[in-house]
Amino acid sequence: FDHTKVTVLFVLGGPGAGKGTQCSHLVEDFGFCHLSAGDLLRAEQHREGSKFGELIQTCIKEGTIVPMEVTVKLLENAMAAALKEGRSGDGWADGRGRFLIDGFPRKMDQAIKFDEEVCQATMVLFFSTTEQVMLDRLLERGKTSGREDDNAESIKKRFVTYKETTMPVIQHYEAVGKVAEIDSSPSVEEVHQKAKAIVEKILS
């Protein structure tokens, strides 16, 4: 696809910060195509014939990062498919699209590869809150989510990876003025209103 015709916002934040929830609202507001790297990996994990099923399962349970080639390819394919099938955001046509890429890049090598091979993101929406808030949300969700990583042991490991590996990515984008930080501790609706105002500005 024509990489100059797409607008990409990365959506980052710790495990359970509310990335997916806020993305759904922003899709309604602005007609983004929402792609969650974690969701794409989980779909690939369960796809019949996938070579990566076991690898992905282990990484997700251990809270480590799946090798970037796998994730970047899945994202690129999903973007291409969305553009081709006209799912690249409401009212978008002729190869244009706007994407919310959720939970990615969470390691520096992914950021560099995506920059070079796919396109440069316009901004990073950074949903931040405390570990306690994230823990409470994930344990609550874990009662019904069926996610293999929504348990106390995996959550602890996800927090470590987030701090050691993903925070440097956020700092990298901060240094080039591309981070909009949003406190995601308040209610879903409050966070949504703040996020909406920020995205309005970015797109204008």
H-run or E-run covering 101: strand 97-102
CB atoms closer than 10 angstroms to residue 150 = 20
Q: How far is the CB of 160 from ligand UP5 (least distance, A)?
A: 11
| Interaction of residue 191 with ligand UP5, rule CB under 6 A | yes
Phi then psi for residue 179, to 5 deg, are -110, 130
Q: How far is the CB of 20 from Mg ion (least distance, A)?
A: 3
Q: Does the annotation list 20 as a binding residue?
A: yes
| Cis status of the peptide bond prior to 15, with omega within 30 of 0 | no
Q: Does 142 bind ligand UP5 (CB under 6 A)?
A: no
Part of the chain binding ligand UP5 (CB under 6 A), chosen from 8-16, 44-52, 79-87, 193-201:
8-16
For residue 89, what are the contacts with CB-CB under 8 A and spacing of at least 6? 30, 31, 32, 33, 97, 98, 99
186 labeled part of a ligand binding site: yes
Residue 183 has which token pair? Answer: 């406190």
Binding site annotation covers 65?
yes
**Closest distance of CB 123 from ligand UP5, Å:** 17
Site for Mg ion in 11-30 (CB under 5 A): 19-20
Sketch the per residue contact string, 73 through 102, with ligand UP5: x for CB under 6 A, - otherwise: ------------------------------
- How far is residue 156 from each of residues 6, 59, 102, 110, measured CA to CA in Å? 36, 14, 21, 23
Size of site (CB under 6 A) for ligand UP5: 31
d(CA 68, CA 123): 20
Structure tokens at 171: 């700092």
Q: Token digits for 76?
A: 């690129």
Q: Which amino acid is at 18?
A: G
Interacting partner of 137 out of Mg ion, ligand UP5, none (Cβ under 5 to 8 A depending on kind): ligand UP5
Structure tokens at 104: 């990615």
Out of 6, 33, 35, 41, the residue judged to bind ligand UP5 by CB under 6 A: 41
Residue number, 15 or 97, with CB nearest to ligand UP5: 15
The residues pairing with 128 across neighbouring beta strands, listed in sequence order, are 183
Q: Which residues are near Mg ion by CB under 5 A?
A: 19-20
Q: Which residues are near ligand UP5 by CB under 6 A?
A: 13, 15-21, 36-38, 41, 59-60, 63-66, 71, 103-104, 106, 110, 137, 141, 149, 158, 184, 187-188, 191
